[in-house]
Amino acid sequence: MTARYIFRRLLHVVPAVAAILVVTFLVIHLAPGDPVIAIAGEDGDQAYYDLMRSKYGLDRSLPAQFFTYVGNVAQGDLGVSYVQGRSVAGLIAERLPATLLLMVSALTLSTLAGIGLGALAARRPFGSFDLAVTSTALVSYAVPTFWLAQLAILVVAYRTGFFPLAGMTDVREQYTGLAHLLDVARHLVLPALVLAASEVALMARSTRTGLIQESGKDYVTVARAKGLSSRRVLVRHALPNALLPVVTIIGTRVGFLFSGAVIVETVFAWPGMGSLIVGAAEDIDHPVLLGLVLLVALTVVFANLLTDLVYAWIDPRIRYQ
Amino acid sequence: MVNLLGSRSRDGPFPGGVMLVERLKPLLARLAILKSVTKYPGWVRRKPLVGVPASVAGVLALVLLVLAVTGGNGADKKTASSGGASSSVLGSEGAVVPGETTTTTVAPPGAPAAAAAQKAADKRARVAAASRPLGVQTRGPIPFALPKAGAPPVSTPDCQKYNKNVVVVALTNTSAQIAHLNPAITSQGPIHTAAEPMFNGLLAYDPGSGVYGDLATDVVVADFGRTYEFTLRPGVKWHDGKDFTSADVKFSFEQALLGDPGHSRTKASVAAALDRIDTPGPLAVVFRFKDSYSPLLQQLNVTEAPIIPKHVFEGNVKPDSPPAQRPIGTGPFKFVSKSSTDIRMDRNPTYFRPDLPCFAGMVESFVPDQGTQVALLEKGDVDWLGDVPGQDQGPGRLGGNRSITLARAPRGPGGANCITTLGFNLTAKGDRAGQIGGPNPAGTPAPHPVLSDLNVRKAIAYAINRQQLLDQIQFGIGRVAPAPISSQIPYAHAPQPGMPGFDPGLANSLLDGAGWTGRDGDGTRKRGAQRLQVDFTSFATGLQPTYGEAIRAQLKAVGIDLVTRPLPAYEQTTFVNRDFDTTIVSYCNGDDPVVGVRRQYFSDQVRTTGFTNAAGYKSPQMDTFWNNAQREPDQGRRAGFYRDIQSLAVRDLPYFWLVETVGTRGFRSDCSGFNVANTGLFAEAAFCRR
């Protein structure tokens, strides 16, 4: 039963998240530095520091702080940022759409382009197109994201002027409606391409390898013998089977996309969660860091669940009990 | 008056629950006006997604549509529901201008020409009052020289001609790091950079002309330099329309600047010396000091002492208080919104300097990556960068770009005339005895087992190649420090012949003489079983970790093992816990040694406050010199005491002064009028010819 399977998998999420919470909480609190300095400034007096400590519960023992935090999280309360004095959920909600837009665009882009290029390359293995795709993929997978991002800004945006250099919207003009959407789209293209670059490479190579392996199998020979066109054999018969490992890759790459997004957002001044993570880490803002780590962890866990379900959908032989 | 920036602010998320159809309405309306759009170059003259396959474009469009429907980062409710109304702005190249909308009025029949003449005369009087230099008077003998009085900025015909532009500034920090916008309760550079354009000080400083009146118009210095009587500018309004009075000044000092947490530099210098602040009238403020106090007029600008409104901030002077998020000031620009992308400000239409500022508004855009900032400036998307990185100033980049102007100034939002300094901890690592604010202020700390030896400190100084640090880290911008007091304070600066130069041979023989003759496997010197290893604390970001790596390599050559410790909690570790051997500090000297130099050397500055006496240096002779210098009326004789202070400092070597740093501003060459030395009010009288 799929429903029972989903329920069971969801139950697995609970210990996973609990473990993540314990580890992150400990690691963050073991890091050097006193958040009270970040809250109260460099030159506060002891009384104010004490007031702030008791206000944020920092004067209590670590286990007590932990259980209060877990209790609050269970009720959907991620706490209040030490530095900004605003709710963590509010801060994340403010930044989430921008990061989501960037990540979903990059993921969609890399999936479509990766599978498409991989399939085209697999039509004539070791042909010139294949060589071009595989070698380009190798390079783009090897290039560090931050360097590619700066290169994109300097070469593509600055020299050609096709795309804006940075940001999510035009700084001078504030558009509304459709003009606003197109403005965001123009700003989105380069960061999404840069973030997608290494993923495209990975997916193109996996698709290609999978297809080449599949095309040696009996059912492909049978399909060919039936007189089907080679494109039909490739797309309808071999591709779904070749995609199984690709789906796994997509699921596991969600976490990497997050970390890539932090870099891309910093270089392109994209107002997503990346800058929130960097700022919170520098300011020792525990609640914000914990909230963000929790969010990323949950996203990865659910991406894996989704992967397994898509697996079953692509390959009817797989049945979850 | 229609307010372009104000009506389009994007602070706050789009409220949920708005129906999809409401969301799409303006989009459909926009479709209808597409043809009439002439301004926007990106999608009318050009295909929007050049070079991207159609399928990809489709996907992006889909994602965008989803986003628009969920409203994650779209326009706020106000703009969404008034899409039709705002179309005129989009299609007419900023036809709606904040602040300076000119309205054609028909004079009533028979209106006397005298009224118009009177109005013109009033304005001339206002302009004349605003452009008057600071009135400085003395009553009785004053034991120190007063700074030169300079002229304030005034509007020009070009300023008024090009008054429709919005100036775009890039900030290096992220939105989250600008935790609040109250510059009176912190000396943090990022917050000051962001907030200062919205505030004023009592006075302002222009290195070309001198000190000029900002919120104050006149000052009388009396009672042997113990009393400063300020006359405040009449008719100044806060951004919320309330009157600015002397109560605001008293409040700003007593509750904010000198309160807790407070402004560290102003608090360190003024708090101990100040007796009280009186307000004999709504436009009169009197500062009474316990003893004659010379530097006050140089530390009243918006960077050192911004004035905030009492009626807004009373009881709300902590960093997490709500008014600090939406500040009210008197400054040339007033707050509109702060979002994850930028801080937006409008021109303050009631600014006390007539016809200023020239800009219709200011946008501070958060661009964390400096490489991106430079590219934005080159492309013209940004008009002003407060700090251009050294590597981008060469002739290959900005230096050779005629549409960019670079200007250097030895001051920034972190203070003026800074010297990057290596500090030696003279007391045992982690020993907090004798530290004011620490657990045992009356105690005596143990001496540092290695660094209390003057010969080891000297050896480290001789082993450091300062010219190499200047060339490789600062790209040659600035100068090797010739003395403990900055060369930018000419009267007090005295070049020191005894300052250690680069001489590794001398360093080696000093270490040999100090008993560090053994060597272990990696070439580090040993004395008995003890390795010559010291640590080095610094900020984790910026150039300081680079200094650490360079100095580590230089000291390795003479057998010293320097362990670099870049720390997120640098101030806590170094100044509160005193848990370090050596450290790097950018000591900003200010415009007088009392402002920023005394804190390094005076014995009562060994305290838990950041950026004070890091060395833990206590010398009765040094304290006497400072007391003499502060009491000495004659500037020539005072300079003599500063000479003594500097030669004693070089003799005792609690610090080693590396590089006098200089900030580089960069701006579009079609803009002028920027005050490159004034961090807060840099754009007060600037404009761009476009």
Q: Is the Cβ of A154 closer than 8 Å to some Cβ of chain B?
A: yes
Q: Residue A162: its chain B contacts at CB < 8 A?
A: 46, 50-51
Which pLDDT tens digit goes with each residue over B197-240? 999 999 988 767 788 999 999 999 999 889 999 999 999 999 99
**Max mean pLDDT range (A295-304, A307-316, B47-56):** A295-304
Q: Can you give the pLDDT at residue A295?
A: 86
* Contact between B367 and A31 using a beta-carbon 8 Å cutoff: no
Q: Which of A208, A238, A40 is nearest to A118 (CA)?
A: A208
Which pLDDT tens digit goes with each residue over A80-95? 877 677 788 888 888 8
Q: What is the distance in angstroms between the Cα of B647 and the nearest Cα belonging to chain A?
A: 31
Q: What is the distance in angstroms between the Cα of A28 and the nearest Cα belonging to chain B?
A: 13
* Nearest-angstrom CA–CA distance, A192 and A199: 11
**B-contacting residues in A 109-138 (Cβ below 8 Å):** 109, 112-113
Which of A172, A276, A283, A288 is best to mutate for the B interface (most B CBs within 10 A)? A172
* Contact between A189 and B52 using a beta-carbon 8 Å cutoff: yes
Question: What is the token pair recorded at B24?
Answer: 């799409």
Q: Can you give the pLDDT at residue B49?
A: 33
Which pLDDT tens digit goes with each residue over A141-152? 888 888 899 888
Q: Is the Cβ of A168 closer than 8 Å to some Cβ of chain B?
A: yes
Pairing between strand B384-385 and B404-409? Answer: unpaired
Q: Residue A188: its chain B contacts at CB < 8 A?
A: 60, 64
Which chain A residue shows the shortest CA-CA distance from B342? A171
Q: Residue A49: its chain B contacts at CB < 8 A?
A: none
Taking each helix axis from N to C end, the angle separating B504-513 and B454-463, rounded to the nearest 10 degrees, works out to 160
Which pLDDT tens digit goes with each residue over A105-120? 999 999 999 999 988 8
Q: What is the distance in angstroms between the Cα of B305 and the nearest Cα belonging to chain A?
A: 16
On the question of pLDDT at B9 being above 50, the answer is no
Question: What is the token pair recorded at B584?
Answer: 């790097």
Q: What is the distance in angstroms between the Cα of A153 and the nearest Cα belonging to chain B?
A: 7
| Burial (CB count <10 Å: 0-12, 13-18, 19+), residue B37 | middle
Average pLDDT value for residue range B648-669: 95
List C-alpha distances in Å: B541 to A138, A224, B259, B365, B566: 33, 62, 29, 20, 8
Which of B30, B55, B92, B173 is best to mutate for the A interface (most A CBs within 10 A)? B30
Q: In the beta sheet, which residues pair with residue A259?
A: none
Pairing between strand B166-171 and B384-385? Answer: parallel
The CA-CA-CA angle for residues B362, B367, B369, to 5°, reads: 150
Q: Select from B42, B342, B365 the Cβ nearest to the Cβ of A182.
A: B42
Q: Residue B346: its chain A contacts at CB < 8 A?
A: none
On the question of pLDDT at A187 being above 70, the answer is yes
Tokens 């100036």 belong to B167
Q: Which of B11, B361, B368 is nearest to B198 (CA)?
A: B361
- Helix then strand count (H, E) for chain B reads 22, 27
Q: Select from A44, A91, A104 the Cβ nearest to the Cβ of B63.
A: A104
Q: Can you give the pLDDT at residue B657?
A: 98
Question: What is the token pair recorded at A189?
Answer: 């293209």
Q: How many CB atoms lie within 10 A of CB A196?
A: 28
Q: Is the Cβ of A42 closer than 8 Å to some Cβ of chain B?
A: yes
**DSSP per-residue letters across B566-608:** EETTHHIIIIIS---SEEEEEEE-TTSHHHHTHHHH-GGG-BS
* Nearest-angstrom CA–CA distance, A196 and A193: 5
Q: Residue B367: its chain A contacts at CB < 8 A?
A: 166-167, 269
Q: Residue B2: its chain A contacts at CB < 8 A?
A: none
Q: What is the distance in angstroms between the Cα of A8 and the nearest Cα belonging to chain B?
A: 31
Average pLDDT, chain A: 82
Instruction: Please give the backbone phi and psi of residue B292, each rounded to the nearest 5 degrees, phi first.
Output: -65, 135
Which chain B residue shows the shortest CA-CA distance from A114? B56
Average pLDDT value for residue range B426-430: 95
Which pLDDT tens digit goes with each residue over B559-597? 999 999 988 678 778 988 899 999 999 998 887 888 789
Q: Which of A316, A308, A125 is nearest to A213 (CA)?
A: A125
Question: What is the token pair recorded at B287?
Answer: 């500062």
Q: Can you give the pLDDT at residue A47?
A: 64
On the question of pLDDT at A9 being above 80, the answer is no
* Contact between A165 and B372 using a beta-carbon 8 Å cutoff: yes
**DSSP per-residue letters across B8-70:** G---SPPPTT--HHHHHHHHHHHHHHGGG--S-HHHHTS-TTTTS-HHHHHHHHHHHHHHHHH
Q: What is the distance in angstroms between the Cα of A114 and the nearest Cα belonging to chain B?
A: 12
Q: Which of A290, A203, A276, A237 is nearest to A23 (CA)?
A: A290
Q: Residue A282: its chain B contacts at CB < 8 A?
A: 177, 540-541, 568
Which chain A residue shows the shortest CA-CA distance from B64? A181
pLDDT band (50, 70, 90) for residue B416 = confident
Q: Residue B93: its chain A contacts at CB < 8 A?
A: none
pLDDT band (50, 70, 90) for residue A319 = low
Q: Select from A83, A85, A154 the Cβ nearest to the Cβ of B375.
A: A154
Q: Select from B63, B83, B186 the Cβ nearest to the Cβ of A41.
A: B186
The three-class DSSP label of residue A158 is: helix
Average pLDDT value for residue range A249-266: 84
* Nearest-angstrom CA–CA distance, B600 and B456: 20
Which chain B residue shows the shortest CA-CA distance from A113? B56
Which pLDDT tens digit goes with each residue over B287-329? 999 988 888 998 899 988 999 999 999 988 887 788 998 999 9
H/E element, B281: strand B274-281
Q: Residue A105: its chain B contacts at CB < 8 A?
A: 59-60, 63
Q: How many CB atoms lie within 10 A of CB A33?
A: 18
* Nearest-angstrom CA–CA distance, B318 and B261: 7
H/E element, A46: helix A46-55
* Contact between B60 and A178 using a beta-carbon 8 Å cutoff: no
Pairs of CB atoms within 8 A across A/B: 256
Per the model's pLDDT, the better-predicted residue between B194 and A232 turns out to be B194
* Contact between B67 and A95 using a beta-carbon 8 Å cutoff: no
Q: Is the Cβ of A177 closer than 8 Å to some Cβ of chain B?
A: yes
* Contact between B541 and A282 using a beta-carbon 8 Å cutoff: yes
* Nearest-angstrom CA–CA distance, B259 and B271: 9
Q: Residue B13: its chain A contacts at CB < 8 A?
A: 90, 93-94
On the question of pLDDT at A275 being above 80, the answer is no
List C-alpha distances in Å: B525 to B453, B463, B519, B548, B626: 15, 14, 4, 19, 38
Question: What is the token pair recorded at B382?
Answer: 């940004």
Q: Residue A158: its chain B contacts at CB < 8 A?
A: 375, 378-379
- The predicted complex's ipTM stands at 0.73
Q: Which of B424, B421, B423, B422 is nearest to B450 (CA)?
A: B424
Question: What is the token pair recorded at B349?
Answer: 């239409």
Q: Can you give the pLDDT at residue B4?
A: 34
The CA-CA-CA angle for residues B357, B361, B365, to 5°, reads: 130
Which of A30, A94, A174 is best to mutate for the B interface (most B CBs within 10 A)? A174
